[in-house]
Amino acid sequence: MKFSLTILGSSSALPTSDRFLTAQVLNVNERFFLLDCGEGTQIQLRRCRVPFGKIKHIFISHLHGDHVFGLPGLISTFNLLGRLDDLHIYAHKSLKQILNQFLGQFYIKLGFNLIYHVLDEENYSLIYEDKTMEVYSFPLKHRILCNGFLFKEKPKPRNLRKDAIEFYNIPVRDRVNIKNGADFVSEDGTVIPNERLTISPPKSKSYAYLTDTEFLPSVALYIQEVELLYHEATFLDEDTILASETGHSAASQAAQIAALANASRLVLGHFSTRYHDLDVFKTQAQKTFNNVELARDGVVFEV
């Protein structure tokens, strides 16, 4: 199953000459999910060769400009390109009013529907589901309402052992149930345990997106065993007090969340423009959690 993350922007508050504002695209089997939409997102979508027409779901963590100012322009571009497919937007409730005002003030009549999904401000909630995956939202701790997101591949059915299926002469009609975990009962009443007939499927893939939050240990409960974790690290450790005052995290705090969640990999991003040597973020985080990478613009992480 294709499951990859493309970093479109990694800067916080202000863009720089080499870092755009926060936006990411998660590709799940050529379905593209956009996470946040800072200024310049559509430029980065083109540079990273993300097909505009395949973006059908946009997730907005919160309504600070560096995460959402690119959305009105992107919607306008979709319209100019002749989009007809519905566009689903997952955000806090005031975004609908903001976008409707924008469309009205600039006399933009869309040729497609905007469908809004209001995020739960307090609870861990299922917000999207299809045949192969689920998306959950959960509250973070920032200066305004802010949510994180967890993308999870649904558990796969078990794999049949061809040799065992042939040895026990399992009828075709019973094989689906066996793949779903059932034992097999032969005509003479003998029970063949499922573990003799199947092997475990590959681990389901998962990605968690935690941006703009103070250090919040309790959030680790929502993302246990996540394979790839993106956690904001706006500040270096020497500025931890400033991080708390502004509703953000420092590098080692992000690493602590990764450790508490027993994540496989940690990606740091949302870097303050005050820092130029981003490798220091990685060095500080690795004192707590070993498998750390940096969310540089244009980088693709395979899950």
Could you give the residue numbers annotated as active site? 66
- Which run of H or of E encompasses 95? helix 94-105
DSSP 250: B
Q: How far is residue 65 from each of residues 22, 71, 94, 191, 291, measured CA to CA in Å? A: 10, 10, 14, 61, 31
Q: Enter the tokens of residue 48.
A: 């990273």
Contact 80, 46 (CB under 8 A): no
- What's the Cα-to-Cα distance from 89 to each of 19, 134, 185, rounded to whole Å? 25, 16, 48
Q: What is the DSSP letter of 202?
A: P
Q: How far apart are CA 40 and CA 46, in angstroms?
A: 10
